[in-house]
């Protein structure tokens, strides 16, 4: 690991020449223009539109958003990566979000996270090869009295012990209320 060097002279994925942002997607983004003073202010809505359309915001998409809004690609990356809500790579059908804030930490979020990592064989901000599961951590989920807790898509699971993991994940409806 020690001497691994990431080379930024190389593009993330060779562009196949076909633009990702179709006229339709661009039109959706353009609908925000009248609401803001500048085009660059539309960056966040644009990121939402793109993630809703494609499931993630790839490097190619970032470049095209940059071009469309006259924002350098590095600044698109800068802004987008600030929010863990946006995904560069593929996001699984079910996203597990483990709370890493104080109450949950005290109640054992690390053991829970470790159990999930082991069960799914992925680490944070990764997706299983079958595209079913993604794992990430977030700050306080607003259910501090029930720590440690986690979200699966929109559903909150409270007071999760590491040995509950297998049972919860086996339930096909674990992400539904």
Q: Tell which positions 126-145 bind ligand FES, by CB under 6 A.
A: 140-144
- Which listed option, ligand FES, other proteins, none, makes contact with residue 5 (CB within 5 to 8 Å by class)? other proteins
- Which listed option, other proteins, ligand FES, none, makes contact with residue 6 (CB within 5 to 8 Å by class)? other proteins
- Which listed option, other proteins, ligand FES, none, makes contact with residue 62 (CB within 5 to 8 Å by class)? other proteins
How many other C-beta atoms are found inside a 10 Å radius of the C-beta of residue 167?
A: 9
Report the residue number, 21 or 152, with the smaller CB distance to ligand FES: 152
Q: How far is Cα of residue 117 from the mean position of the Cα atoms in its chain?
A: 17
Cβ atoms of residues 110 and 101 within 8 Å = no
| Nearest distance, CB of residue 50 and ligand FES, angstroms | 29
Q: Tell which positions 65-104 bind ligand FES, by CB under 6 A.
A: 99, 101-104
Give the position of tokens 């809703």: 52
| Nearest distance, CB of residue 113 and ligand FES, angstroms | 12
Cβ atoms of residues 150 and 160 within 8 Å = yes
The one-character DSSP state at 78 is H
Q: Tell which positions 107-126 bind ligand FES, by CB under 6 A.
A: none
Report the residue number, 10 or 170, with the smaller CB distance to other proteins: 10
Beta pairing partners, 133: 94
The dihedral sign for the CA sequence 18, 61, 22, 72: negative
Query: For residue 75, is the peptide bond before it cis, meaning its omega torsion is within 30 degrees of 0?
Result: no
Q: Is 101 helix (H, G, I), strand (E, B) or coil?
A: coil
Report the residue number, 12 or 166, with the smaller CB distance to other proteins: 12
**# of chain residues touching ligand FES (CB under 6 A):** 12
Residues that bind ligand FES (CB under 6 A): 99, 101-104, 140-144, 147, 149
């Amino acid at each position: 690991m020690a001497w691994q060097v990431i080379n930024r002279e190389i593009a993330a994925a060779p562009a196949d020449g076909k633009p990702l942002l179709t006229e339709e997607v661009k039109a959706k983004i353009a609908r925000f223009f009248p609401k803001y003073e500048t085009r660059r202010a539309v960056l966040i809505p644009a990121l939402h539109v793109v993630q809703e359309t494609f499931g993630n915001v790839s490097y190619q998409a970032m470049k095209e958003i940059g071009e469309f809004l006259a924002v350098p690609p590095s600044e698109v990356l800068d802004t987008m990566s600030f929010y863990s809500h946006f995904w560069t790579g593929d996001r699984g059908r079910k996203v597990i979000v483990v709370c890493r804030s104080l109450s949950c930490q005290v109640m054992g979020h690390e053991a829970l996270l470790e159990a999930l990592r082991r069960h799914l064989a992925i680490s944070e901000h990764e997706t299983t090869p079958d595209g079913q599961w993604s794992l990430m951590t977030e700050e306080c989920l607003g259910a501090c009295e029930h720590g440690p807790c986690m979200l699966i898509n929109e559903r909150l699971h409270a007071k999760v012990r590491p040995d509950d993991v297998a049972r919860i994940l086996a339930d096909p409806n674990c992400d539904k209320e």
